[in-house]
Amino acid sequence: MKLRTRVYVDGFNLYYGALKGTPFRWLDLVALARKSLSAKNEITRLNYYTARVSSKVKADSPAKQQAYLAALASSELVKIHLGNFVARTRRLPEHPIPEAGPKFVEVLWSEEKGSDVNLASHLVFDGCKGNFDVAVVISNDTDLIEPIRLVTELGKPVGLLTHASRPAEKLGEVASFVRNIKRAHLRACQLENPTGGAHKPAKWCLQDPIFEAVIGGKTGDLARAIDLLLAELNEDRFLELFGKPPKWVANAYGKIRSLAERKRARLLDPDERKQALEALEALARAAQSR
């Protein structure tokens, strides 16, 4: 017997917890839910909660986000719910505070509002209306403890699908079951490019080989990770991503290329492997800021 299953996705929590700085941002959420749950769970609706980001943070962020939202919305199972994204300047004290007293600086402060409230409200409403047999929440936000508890008290199971190795305190305790989002699932559950007429952002396509190389270098074959990176990110594509790069970025890329030559001659020693990983991580930090 199939179980009508609704999935509630905290978009910002998922992005910052599992997707930022990875090659998995073009994520097929319906496929991820299906892969993480039992075959008995029939996904009847996936609600995605987010807010439109501001160009004050990064000029091209709204366009990249819109491409992803359009791809998600092409599925008849997905419904997108928008909160508010606020970006403004604030005066905050520098850290550490000197003995003479705090020195204040202006910073750009951004925060998302409304997603957790919307998610909680829809979860409780759907539970009361009997709109699902099982609910699944994708988040690690402790603000959702009480709504999850309330729905389970209605006799409706609420599962937690989380990117954290261990869910936040008490969140896992109130959930009916807990599943971890595995990196292998993120890799396997990527949308086609294009999807529903929406194309994966070109900058993501340029960044992804760098992020992939860092993962490969840390968890697998470093030499192969370097080869794959340089096959994808030749000098022309490097300049397309970084323009006229800062010296430290150019040095990191140059170090990877020089170590690749030594690797081909089988001369990489442990110290050079460490240098290669440090250069990859430096390149990833630079790419993430683009």
Judge whether residue 266 has pLDDT over 70.
no
Together in a domain, 173 and 254: no
Please report the pLDDT score of residue 42 as a whole number.
98
Together in a domain, 99 and 132: yes
Q: Total structural domains in the chain?
A: 2
Within 10 angstroms of residue 181's Cβ, the number of other Cβ atoms is: 23
Together in a domain, 166 and 32: yes
Establish if 195 belongs to a structural domain.
no
User: Residue 54 belongs to what domain range?
Assistant: 3-188
Q: Please state the rounded mean pLDDT for residues 132-153.
A: 97
Together in a domain, 52 and 150: yes
Q: What are the tens digits of pLDDT across the range 229-253?
A: 999 999 999 999 999 899 999 999 9
Establish if 93 belongs to a structural domain.
yes
Total number of residues shown for the chain: 290
Q: What secondary structure letter does DSSP report for 288?
A: H
Establish if 174 belongs to a structural domain.
yes
Q: What percent of the chain has pLDDT over 90?
A: 68
Give the domain-ending residue among 188, 213, 234. Answer: 188
Distances (CA, A) of 12 to 51, 138, 211: 8, 11, 20
Predicted model pTM: 0.90
Q: What are the tens digits of pLDDT across the range 187-212?
A: 999 999 999 999 999 999 999 999 99
Please report the pLDDT score of residue 107 as a whole number.
66
